[in-house]
Structure 1
Amino acid sequence: MSDYGTRVEAPPKRPNLTRNLLLATAVACLGSIQYGYHIAELNAPEQFLVCPNDPQTNGITSAAPQCISMTEQQFGAVTSIFSLGGLVGSFFIGSYASKYGRRSTSLYISVLSFIGSLVMFIAGSFNSLLVGRFIVGVSCGSAIVITPLFINEIAPPQWKGALGSMNQLSINLGILLTQSLALPLANLEDWRYLLAVGCILALLNALGWWWIGESPQWLVLHKHDTLQASMNLARLRNSSLQVAKQEIEQWSESNNNNSDSDTQELTFLGYITNSLYTRPRLAITLLLVGQQFSGINSIIFYGVKVVSQVVPQYAILVNLAVSIINVIVTFIASLVIDRSGRKPLLIVSALAMSLMSLLISISITSNYSVLLVLSLFGYIIAFALGIGPIPFLIIGELSSPESTAQAQSYGTVCNWLATFVVGYTFPILNQLMGGYVYLTFSVMTVLLLIGIRRYIPETKGTLNASEAWQNFH
């Protein structure tokens, strides 16, 4: 009920997505595309890349032999060392990004990715392939920290969910790109060109970062350069310098009121031991570990083998369709994430994934081919709606400004460790349990659902982490 003549103000209009903002987001997301690409690049060409384990060919050292002699254990080492490299990159990159800036650090990461991809492309032995794969892992582990961190700092509050979800969409696009190129290139003559694409992506990313300005928030928090920050923000917003200064003053004042720490003194060890960050650290651990324990990489890493248990003749096509659906639904999620909120999408996503995991288990153990395909599609749709895109983007929304870089590193390290655990143990569990292994994933996702309800606040529309936690009980 209102007084006569009282004017009801319309809700504030969303700021426009400018060309420069979208370009900066796209350049940052090229790092995530490389992450997705390298995750899946060895899946399809495995049978052509690996020579039979013939002792007479095991010592090949040619610059570019037609195939590389490896045992299954050696190929497994090449595949999994990517996770080890990613863990190393994620662990150290937060400090470097805080000290040297998001843009400069990303330029070096792109160069490192180019070198690693080139080493893999010309690899003539198991050892050289292993080294290249490790270097690529370091660069991807670093990029997956920088991408959501940078996007969170440049996005207007009303668009943080949509733009933040571009990180996961880009990972899925990278996976889809690998699988699409594998159709013509996964053969004995052309498999190396799949690895060469990594060089092209890294080069494009380096060129892109050359033309993108530094994060305005980093310039203010770490360099105290308000003028350059205002200029960069005005370019991103396509606004006047005065309007940009007002926005910077708004979030700077809010951050100063809710932060007692020196941004340049916080280390990774300080972040994981300081009780000030206990609640966000618990939430980040729950989401980033839970995302992997839901079993998603059992499909990304071993999807062809999983489907082959029931429909071997269509395994590659089903796996490609899964990737296409993942991309489409992640894009749809980006359109609704700022309207529906983070927590409702996480809850619905976890519930649906648990159900789909149960159906996957039934379909494999009972040899129901149609049910397997449908439940796989449902599983991927559920993942792409919430558990996929939200964990990485919500780290910055749950973390105070001085801890954001280290929080992003911490969350990504947790994700890498969980990825390694699932990637390493799934073949073993699958051999021991068969389709019943997906019952384990179903239970884990239920536990994740309970944790989301109890420990994750809603961050939709909040100005900063302090506001999100103050409204959470």
Structure 2
Amino acid sequence: MPESTSLISDTKKRALLTNPLIFSTLVACMGSIQYGYHIAELNAPQQSIMCPTVTMEGYEETYLGSHGYAQCITLTDQQYGAITAMFSVGGLVGSFFGGRLANRYGRKFTSFITCTLGLVGSCVLFASNNYAGLLIGRIIVGVACGVQIVVTPLYINEITPAVWRGAMGSMNQLSINLGILLTQSLAIKLANELYWRWLLLVGAAIAAINFVCWIQIYESPKWLLRHTNKLDKAENALSYLRSTTYQEVKNEINDWKKEFRHAEIESGTNVRPLTFWQYVRGASHKKPRDAITAILMGQQFCGINSIIFYGVKIISRLLPEYAIFANFGVSIINVVVTFLASLIVDQYGRKPLLLTSTIIMSAASFFISISIINLKSVSLIISIFVYISAFAIGLGPIPFLIIGELSTAEESATAQSYGTVCNWLATFVIGYGFPLVNNLMGGYVYMLFAAFAISFAYYIYERVPETKSKTNYTDIWADY
């Protein structure tokens, strides 16, 4: 098995963090940047995309530009909510098939496919002149991002030494937040009646760059060994990633072989990949499956995407002139705190950070509610900043990282796919349902998020094991 973090010197640990490993991780994380970008791309420009609800003579001349693209699109709030939520529908489909595609065709080739889909979907969004076009574009980019958010943490987990897995795995969420920040940064200049389409087209540029970068790096050596049985290719890929001797590369590959055999003995299966439905129904997967379901759905039901999707609209009720800038500040805090979390996740562990995160989010949600109800703008901004910071330190980076750690090697890709599907389902519920519930309850909706977060913290305390410094499935679940 991989070496324990407690048995490796700091010098050896630093030596394992090679430039090829960092570059490969950054390339994989560009998929997460696309995911984050598309999550937030409809937040700031909502008022510019939607035509004013008036009718007048000469409507087409007023709202159609000479280039043939509508300057705005006639949409209701419910339709805009559906367009926002369709990203989650596409994402759910992509994540459902993501693990299977990654197992069959490899992490690298699957990423080529998703980058192509992301490019096409962004172009469809850019060219859309009606409700249907926006729906189709959002579904396409959703499918692409659904696969990417499965492949990215899976690839990082497989190429990274155990001692760096927490820090490097956190780069996935950091990249999502960078994508959100990029959207909000560009929105300051582009979220207006003239340029909102260009904001949607940037996603195509990111996908194209990511496609080119994937050409420069190797396939996951662990996938090569397990699914193609080509030892020489696996050794070459691992040698590229490590600054170690050939014998040390051989030793790590032998550790993987032992891990594969151990997983086969425990599960009673051969090396054929576990299907999605086998994982859902299998009694032997119940403990990790239950924890993954709770963590990945709980991340969303704490309400984070009510801010990511609709933050500008929420803030604009109290601070209409500064809503976009406040949302930009939220994105900066999200990135900074997530980066800090990546530095401490291997020191303090996953479970303590998850508990800290959810408890603080519960308190912050309560104060967001109070601030909205009592029209306290300063208190609202402070509460949102605390809420986002709390999310970024634990509940943001850890869920996608911990899926692979809670699972055996045999089920990791399928578990990643399953957990991401759960996350998309919850994201759809928040994306589509929040505007409806918010219209009915107003600021009190954040009381619901506060109650859920504190209940979720109790579940984590009772049912989720710590994975820090543990290198195999048996050790992780020994006391549960």
User: Distance between the aligned counterparts of 2:448 and 2:263, measured in 1?
Assistant: 41
In structure 1, the partner of 2:431 is 423
User: How many residues end up aligned between the 2 structures?
Assistant: 464
TM-superposed deviation, 1:104: 0.7
Deviations 1:327-386 (A, max 9, x none): 000000000000111011111111111111111112222222222221111111111110
User: Distance between the aligned counterparts of 1:142 and 1:238, measured in 2?
Assistant: 31
In structure 1, the partner of 2:9 is 12
1:189 aligns with 2:194: yes
User: Distance between the aligned counterparts of 1:377 and 1:132, measured in 2?
Assistant: 31
In structure 1, the partner of 2:285 is 277
Q: Is the 8 A contact 1:57 1:69 kept in 2?
A: no
C-alpha change, 1:165 and 1:10, in structure 2 (3 Å) is: closer
C-alpha change, 1:70 and 1:309, in structure 2 (3 Å) is: closer
Question: Is the deviation greater in 170-179 or in 366-375?
Answer: 366-375
Q: Which amino acid aligns with 1:322?
A: V
Q: Is the 8 A contact 1:68 1:124 kept in 2?
A: yes
In structure 2, the partner of 1:386 is 394
Q: Which amino acid aligns with 1:427?
A: P
In structure 2, the partner of 1:39 is 39
User: Distance between the aligned counterparts of 1:432 and 1:135, measured in 2?
Assistant: 31
Provide the identity percentage: 53
1:165 aligns with 2:170: yes
Q: Which amino acid aligns with 2:45?
A: P
In structure 2, the partner of 1:26 is 26
Give the structure-1-normalised TM-score: 0.94
Q: Which amino acid aligns with 2:418?
A: Y
User: Distance between the aligned counterparts of 2:355 and 2:379, measured in 1?
Assistant: 24
User: Distance between the aligned counterparts of 2:289 and 2:20, measured in 1?
Assistant: 33
**Secondary structure of 2:410's aligned partner:** helix
1:441 is matched with which residue: 443, 449, 456?
449
User: Distance between the aligned counterparts of 2:113 and 2:148, measured in 1?
Assistant: 10
Q: Is the 8 A contact 2:43 2:311 kept in 1?
A: no
User: Distance between the aligned counterparts of 1:461 and 1:251, measured in 2?
Assistant: 17
Root-mean-square deviation (Å): 2.0
In structure 2, the partner of 1:118 is 123
User: Distance between the aligned counterparts of 1:300 and 1:367, measured in 2?
Assistant: 21
1:78 aligns with 2:67: no
User: Distance between the aligned counterparts of 1:108 and 1:27, measured in 2?
Assistant: 15
In structure 2, the partner of 1:250 is 255
1:312 aligns with 2:309: no
C-alpha change, 1:429 and 1:123, in structure 2 (3 Å) is: closer
Q: Is the 8 A contact 2:43 2:308 kept in 1?
A: no
Q: Which amino acid aligns with 1:149?
A: L
Question: Is the deviation greater in 155-164 or in 460-469?
Answer: 460-469
TM-superposed deviation, 1:277: 0.5
**Secondary structure of 1:39's aligned partner:** helix
C-alpha change, 1:465 and 1:95, in structure 2 (3 Å) is: same
Deviations 1:207-256 (A, max 9, x none): 11111111111111111122211110111113333221111112321332
Q: Is the 8 A contact 2:305 2:430 kept in 1?
A: yes
1:298 aligns with 2:300: no
In structure 1, the partner of 2:334 is 326
Deviations 1:20-76 (A, max 9, x none): 001110011000000110111112122222234559659989852323333333333
Q: Which amino acid aligns with 2:393?
A: L
User: Distance between the aligned counterparts of 1:12 and 1:261, measured in 2?
Assistant: 37
> Could you list the runs of 5+ residues in structure 2 that have no partner in the other structure?
1-5
TM-superposed deviation, 1:265: 4.1
C-alpha change, 1:77 and 1:312, in structure 2 (3 Å) is: same
**Secondary structure of 1:258's aligned partner:** helix
C-alpha change, 1:348 and 1:73, in structure 2 (3 Å) is: closer
In structure 2, the partner of 1:6 is none
Q: Is the 8 A contact 1:60 1:124 kept in 2?
A: no
User: Distance between the aligned counterparts of 1:263 and 1:373, measured in 2?
Assistant: 52
Give the structure-2-normalised TM-score: 0.93
**Secondary structure of 2:215's aligned partner:** helix
Question: Is the deviation greater in 264-273 or in 82-91?
Answer: 264-273
1:105 aligns with 2:102: no
In structure 1, the partner of 2:3 is none
In structure 2, the partner of 1:227 is 232
User: Distance between the aligned counterparts of 2:270 and 2:294, measured in 1?
Assistant: 27
Q: Is the 8 A contact 2:358 2:456 kept in 1?
A: yes
**Secondary structure of 2:321's aligned partner:** helix
Q: Is the 8 A contact 2:103 2:273 kept in 1?
A: no
User: Distance between the aligned counterparts of 1:461 and 1:225, measured in 2?
Assistant: 30
> Could you list the runs of 5+ residues in structure 1 that have no partner in the other structure?
1-8
**Secondary structure of 2:314's aligned partner:** helix
In structure 1, the partner of 2:74 is 69
Deviations 1:154-193 (A, max 9, x none): 1110110100011111111001100100111112221111
Q: Which amino acid aligns with 2:349?
A: G
Question: Is the deviation greater in 168-177 or in 223-232?
Answer: 223-232
C-alpha change, 1:230 and 1:302, in structure 2 (3 Å) is: same
Q: Which amino acid aligns with 1:47?
A: Q
1:369 aligns with 2:377: yes
Q: Which amino acid aligns with 1:116?
A: G
User: Distance between the aligned counterparts of 1:257 and 1:410, measured in 2?
Assistant: 22
1:214 aligns with 2:219: yes
**Secondary structure of 1:312's aligned partner:** coil
Q: Is the 8 A contact 1:258 1:466 kept in 2?
A: no
Q: Which amino acid aligns with 2:139?
A: F
In structure 2, the partner of 1:5 is none
Q: Is the 8 A contact 2:259 2:409 kept in 1?
A: no
User: Distance between the aligned counterparts of 2:27 and 2:273, measured in 1?
Assistant: 29
Question: Is the deviation greater in 300-309 or in 19-28?
Answer: 300-309
Question: Is the deviation greater in 31-40 or in 418-427?
Answer: 418-427
User: Distance between the aligned counterparts of 2:184 and 2:235, measured in 1?
Assistant: 42
User: Distance between the aligned counterparts of 1:127 and 1:279, measured in 2?
Assistant: 42
Q: Is the 8 A contact 1:38 1:198 kept in 2?
A: yes
**Secondary structure of 2:293's aligned partner:** helix
1:345 aligns with 2:353: yes
User: Distance between the aligned counterparts of 1:308 and 1:335, measured in 2?
Assistant: 34
User: Distance between the aligned counterparts of 1:10 and 1:467, measured in 2?
Assistant: 16
In structure 2, the partner of 1:96 is 101
Q: Which amino acid aligns with 1:314?
A: Y
Q: Which amino acid aligns with 2:463?
A: Y
